[in-house]
Amino acid sequence: MKEFIFNATFVFQIIVFIISSYYMIISFFGLRLKKEDNNEVEPQKSFALIVAAHNEEMVIAQIVESLKNLDYPKELYDIFVIADNCTDNTAKIAREHGAQVFERFDSNKRGKGYALEWMFNNIFEMDKKYDAVVVFDADNLASRNFLKEMNKKLVAGYKVVQGYIDSKNPNDSWITHSYSIAFWSANRLFQAARWKLGLSNQIGGTGFCVDTELLKRFGWGATCLTEDLEFTCKLVLNGYKVGWAHTAVIYDEKPLTLKQSWNQRKRWMQGFADVATRYFTKLMKKAIKDKDFVAFDCALYTVQPFIILLLGMSLILTYLQTHSEKGLNIFIIQYLFTPIVWKLFSVFQFMFTPIVMVLERKLSKKMLAFLGLYSLNVFLMDRVITRGDSIIKISLLNLAYIGIVSAAILSVEGIKGFKVYIWYLLYGIYTITWIPITLQGIIDKNKKEWSHTKHTRQISISEIEGIDGSTAA
């Protein structure tokens, strides 16, 4: 039985290790951005800017004003707001600020996907024609160069382009900071890396641009909980790739609380699981038949929920093996490496994200050094913790080391630096919560219930640019 357990866990852990290595290798290509032609491209393309809104009276004025002030000829774009099943003053406020408002009331077809499909059909029937449509959420703000960058990509031949999704409120709570870290990392290690390798990027739900004729040809037809992922899969199946505009920035408001975050991420995982069951096989068939690595990569992305569960199971097996007095005859990946190599790899894993944050100018080099100091606990704790030590002892020793590093940060960087340090440590908890959230999402994949995040304050683009310029602690 012991041999069976070891062999079974060996096969399982190796599979997880190969999948993880695939993502890590690709992520390395995002560390250095692809060189682009920085020459100005004359504005040529016309755009229909579409803002999807449901009871967004608190924030709708800010996104409309942000779009009105884009650095792009005003005659080449129009702003449309979908007031979708609104019971507040969203439509009234949007009109007062100069947007063209389309009100939609449909109690059966609820949700952003249906609203966008309805609005796209309205755009197609208009006398005025647009080269492309751009989709925003009501709580977004856009950088002034946004349309200039989209125009440049469309002129270069792209039909679909995703912009850089940044955070509108990274310093509001540890949850918003965790979200921000996740998006900053994904922009660089996932999106920019695939852009550099010539793979397809993924539409991120907001801040994306689609060629009107392409949209008309394929139809939106994406009405699941992650309509962005569904449309990306349709594009890849038809031989198209989503482009990436790293300097076209959309500031997106992140949930403040764990409860709000849980509900939103559960919805994402429901949508992922739904899309995976409908598109994974199709994409893999295309990948094999056409020797299409773009389709293969996209197929792997659709099964993220299942990969997260595999990683969670691997984490649990590793914990059980390393924290039992005599071991449970479970194979763990660290057996493939010498102790020193494994410790160095652990430090690298911890420091990889902060390095990316420095590259994205979201973290100072001083704070990077302090996080590096903290990462050395993997060497120090090994000298004082032995197999079979109680959870209480291990926790107290780790808390003591956290306290020592905290004191050093407070003396040099003050409260702001201390907050960044603690919130980065809490990011680990945020990451672990993906496991139960994903499990819930897979179980409830057929329940298409939309949860609306309530916004409690207003932020302008000028405030955001000020915040963004001083994010690094």
How many other CB atoms are there within 10 angstroms of residue 452's CB atom? 10
Cα(284)–Cα(244) distance, integer angstroms = 23
Long-range contacts from 404-410, C-beta under 8 angstroms, 24+ separation: 405/370, 405/373, 405/374, 408/370, 408/373, 409/367, 409/370
- Mapping DSSP to helix (H, G, I), strand (E, B) and coil, where does residue 260 land? helix
Task: Output the furthest CA–CA distance in the chain (Å, rounded).
Answer: 76
Residue range 432-443, pLDDT digits in tens = 999 999 999 999
Task: Tell whether the model's pLDDT for residue 469 goes beyond 60.
Answer: no
- Length, in residues, of the chain: 473
Q: Looking at residue 362, what DSSP letter applies? A: S
Amino acid in position 160 = V
Single pTM value for the model: 0.91
Amino acid in position 232 = T
Task: Tell whether the model's pLDDT for residue 149 goes beyond 90.
Answer: yes
The separation between the first and the last C-alpha atoms of the chain, rounded to the nearest angstrom, is 53
Compute the C-alpha angle 127/241/145, nearest 5°: 60
Listing DSSP states for 130-195 in one string gives: -SEEEEEETT-EE-TTHHHHHHHHHHTT-SEEEEEEEES-TTS-HHHHHHHHHHHHIIIIIIIHHH
CB burial of 125-159 (b: ≥16 within 10 Å; e: otherwise) equals eeeeebbbbbbbbbbbbbbebbbbbbbbbbeeebb
pLDDT for the residue numbered 457: 62
pLDDT for the residue numbered 110: 82
Q: Looking at residue 104, what DSSP letter applies? A: E
Cα(468)–Cα(147) distance, integer angstroms = 20
pLDDT for the residue numbered 291: 96
Residue range 260-316, pLDDT digits in tens = 999 999 999 999 999 999 999 999 999 999 999 999 999 999 999 999 999 999 999
Residue range 325-349: average pLDDT?
A: 90
pLDDT band at 323 (very low <50, low <70, confident <90, very high): confident
> What is the token pair recorded at 393?
């002892």
pLDDT for the residue numbered 449: 61
Cα(181)–Cα(173) distance, integer angstroms = 12
What are the phi and psi torsion angles at 323 (to 5°)?
A: -110, 15
Taking Cα atoms as reference points, which of 345, 388, 351 lies closest to residue 370? Answer: 351
191, 274 Cβ separation under 8 angstroms: no
SS3 content of the chain, % helix, strand, coil (to 5): 60, 10, 30
Burial (CB count <10 Å: 0-12, 13-18, 19+), residue 389: middle
pLDDT for the residue numbered 459: 73
Report CA Rg, the chain.
24
Residue range 1-53, pLDDT digits in tens = 788 999 999 999 999 999 999 999 999 999 998 877 677 899 999 999 999 99
Burial (CB count <10 Å: 0-12, 13-18, 19+), residue 419: middle
> What is the token pair recorded at 309?
């569960």
150, 47 Cβ separation under 8 angstroms: yes
